[in-house]
Amino acid sequence: MSIDKRDHIIKKAVELIAEKGFEGTSIRDLAAKADVNVAMVNYYFGSKEKLFEALVEKRALFMSQFIENVITNKSLLPIEQLDRIIEGYIIRFLADPQYHRVLQQELLITQREQMHEKIIGLIAKNAFEIIQIIKKGIKSKVFNKVDPELVFASILGTISQVLMSRALCLKIMNKPRDYDPYSDKKFQKRLTNHIQQMVHSYLIK
């Protein structure tokens, strides 16, 4: 079995599902876009839903790995840990807005319960690490007495808000239609600075 072709189909599936949703994407749509026969999807993945699971699975570890690295780096101050995590979140999310949108779609609906729970698990795992850092910072009095869970919601929520709709992002930022904020390093830096500075002023000033 050609792994290349499997990955090719998954890649096209992310593009289509991000654009039209899972139920809005038909196997025939996908087959046409990936330039394969309709039967190939079921041949490779078993079913449309299993393709979807393979899709999510494939990139699931992508995020959690690096957070572990930050946590286990004992030489960093709590605020430095947060800064690294914010930066890493933004780099990774902005690198693949379509995948992020697919996950957000599944978070919004409860249609596929086990998929819903799986994605919640992925996010919660990171959330707890971040919340733990904030709680420790508060206990050791280097952080103000903030609401750790909602600080996490603000960090992830800000990024998600920006990623949610490119057209909305452009409209609010007053940018031309052909501008791509997600691949622009300057915008990436702008977003990183905003969240870091907001968190700094709230937690330590």
Partner DNA sequence: AATATAATTAAACGATTGTTTAATTTAAAC
Partner DNA sequence: GTTTAAATTAAACAATCGTTTAATTATATT
Return residues touching DNA (CB under 7 A).
1-2, 5, 25-29, 36-43, 46-49
46 touches its own copies by CB under 8 A? no
Q: Which of 20, 28, 50, 189 binds its own copies (CB under 8 A)?
A: 20
Q: Is residue 68 a contact residue for its own copies (CB under 8 A)? A: no
* Length reported for the chain: 205
73 binds its own copies per the rule CB under 8 A: no
Cβ 53 to its own copies shortest distance, Å? 17
Q: Does 188 bind its own copies (CB under 8 A)?
A: no
At 74, list the tokens: 């004992």
Site mask, its own copies, residues 144-163, x = CB under 8 A? --xx-xxxxxx-xxxxxxx-
Cβ-based nearer residue to DNA, 9 or 151? 9
> In the bound complex, what is the minimum distance in angstroms from residue 3's beta carbon to its own copies?
29
Which of DNA, its own copies, none is residue 68 near (CB under 5 to 8 Å by kind)? Answer: none
Residue 63 sits in the site that holds its own copies (CB under 8 A) = no
Stretch that binds its own copies, among 36-44, 53-61, 66-74, 103-111 (CB under 8 A): 103-111
Q: Which does 101 bind (CB under 5 to 8 A by kind): DNA, its own copies, none?
A: its own copies
Q: Which of 5, 64, 168, 183 binds its own copies (CB under 8 A)?
A: 168
DSSP the chain: --HHHHHHHHHHHHHHHHHH-TTT--HHHHHHHHTS-HHHHHHHHSSHHHHHHHHHHHHHHHHHHHHHHHHH-TTS-HHHHHHHHHHHHHHHHHH-HHHHHHHHHHHH--SSHHHHHHHHHHHHHHHHHHHHHHHHHHHTTSS-S--HHHHHHHHHHHHHHHHH-HHHHHHHHT--TT--GGG-HHHHHHHHHHHHHHHHHHHT-
